[in-house]
Amino acid sequence: MPTRTILVLCAAVLVAAMAGAPFVLNEGFLRLATECLLLLTMAQMWNLLAGYAGLVSLGHQVFVAFGAYSLFMTAGWLELTPIWVLPVAPLVSAIVAAVIAVPLFRLREAYFSIAMWVFAEIIGALTMKSSFAGGTAGLPLATSKLIDFDWFEPIMFWLAAALTLGTIGALYRLMISSFGLGLMSVRDNDLAAMSVGVDVRHNRFVAFVLSAAGCGLAGALNFMGNLYIAPLAAFDVNWSVYMMFIVIIGGIGTLEGPILGVIIFFGLREIMTGPLGLSGGWYLVGLGVLAVVVMMLFPRGIWPVLRDRIGVRLLDVHRTPPCPAAAMALNELSGRTPG
């Protein structure tokens, strides 16, 4: 069976499973599943930036917060059911990303990472001071009375599931397109990529804006589920910590890695805070230790190791390079020279 057919079949099964899940799972499980899916989307978005565009952002919480705040405020002004206002969230986050990219893209590597963090701190501090955004107290969802609460949890789950499947599908398409190839070539060697005509800046810019938009939408959905937003929760640096750990543990620069990472992330959380009865702080310590150990033993994450061991390729966008001309010439040469 060709890979394409398998993928389409898998997608169909997944869509059916997601559609039916709310009728089978109880409310607690459904909420957990929604949380998993939203965090998976954010991790994929962070991975798009770090794993494919080579930009590590330690301030991605700012896009989560922009998405969520724009949803809460627009829903209040327009007095609409929050679901219809959702498109505003990725739009606002994308615009912010496009503007902030101008100064930030002058910086490379660690400078970009920390400048992003400083930007998030500035916006967080300004939000806490602005009365129209609710200040330190935060905002309730103004139009929550328009929500049909019988269907609220299932709808949230379906939205999260659609977002996640859509994100992974779109990323897969993106990575097998010429844009994706350009992006990966920039990550691997930006000098070589530029020399064959890849527009490095443009590729990075598009990845940054897309990543911000996805995080904005996922953040808006997350806080819509809570019906309440507070700046300390929205601008929490732990958003970036979670995204990073999921990607690092699962496998940076792969589409399957974050899926594996999210399973480990929530599995560890349920075990450590449930049966073991440990606090959230110790859970983060455990997760951090796991991430550090993975980074030292398998710098590319767990998934690539697992993939090579069991030989399974799921959403593989890997290409084998053709034998380089220089190597061929060398082979020929060494064949001809005696001895």
- Three-state DSSP state, 161: helix
Does residue 279 touch other proteins according to CB under 8 A?
Answer: yes
For residues 237 and 120, the answer to whether their CB atoms sit within 8 Å is yes
Does residue 99 touch other proteins according to CB under 8 A?
Answer: no
Does residue 245 touch other proteins according to CB under 8 A?
Answer: yes
Does residue 57 touch other proteins according to CB under 8 A?
Answer: no
Q: How far is the CB of 79 from other proteins (least distance, A)?
A: 33
Query: Which of 117, 208, 239, 265 contacts other proteins by CB under 8 A?
Result: 117
Does residue 289 touch other proteins according to CB under 8 A?
Answer: yes
Does residue 306 touch other proteins according to CB under 8 A?
Answer: no
- Three-state DSSP state, 277: coil
Q: How far is the CB of 256 from other proteins (least distance, A)?
A: 19
Pairs from 95-104 (Cβ < 8 Å, separation ≥ 24)? 96/62, 96/63, 96/66, 96/212, 97/63, 97/208, 97/209, 97/211, 97/212, 97/213, 98/205, 98/209, 101/205, 101/208, 101/209
Please, which residue, 296 or 333, has the CB nearer to other proteins?
296
The CA angle 167-169-172, to the nearest 5 degrees, is 105
The binding track of 120-139 with respect to other proteins, each residue x by CB under 8 A or -, is -xx--xx--x----------
Q: Which stretch binds other proteins (CB under 8 A): 11-19, 24-32, 282-290, 325-333?
A: 282-290
| Gap between the Cα atoms of 185 and 321, Å rounded | 12
Name the H helices within 177-324: 178-188, 190-195, 200-226, 231-234, 238-250, 257-273, 280-297, 302-310
Q: Which stretch binds other proteins (CB under 8 A): 142-150, 165-173, 288-296, 330-338?
A: 288-296
Longest Cα–Cα distance of the chain, Å, equals: 86
Contact footprint for other proteins (CB under 8 A): 50, 54, 56, 58, 103, 106-107, 109-111, 113-115, 117-119, 121-122, 125-126, 129, 237, 241, 244-245, 248, 279, 281-282, 284-285, 287-289, 291-292, 295-296, 299
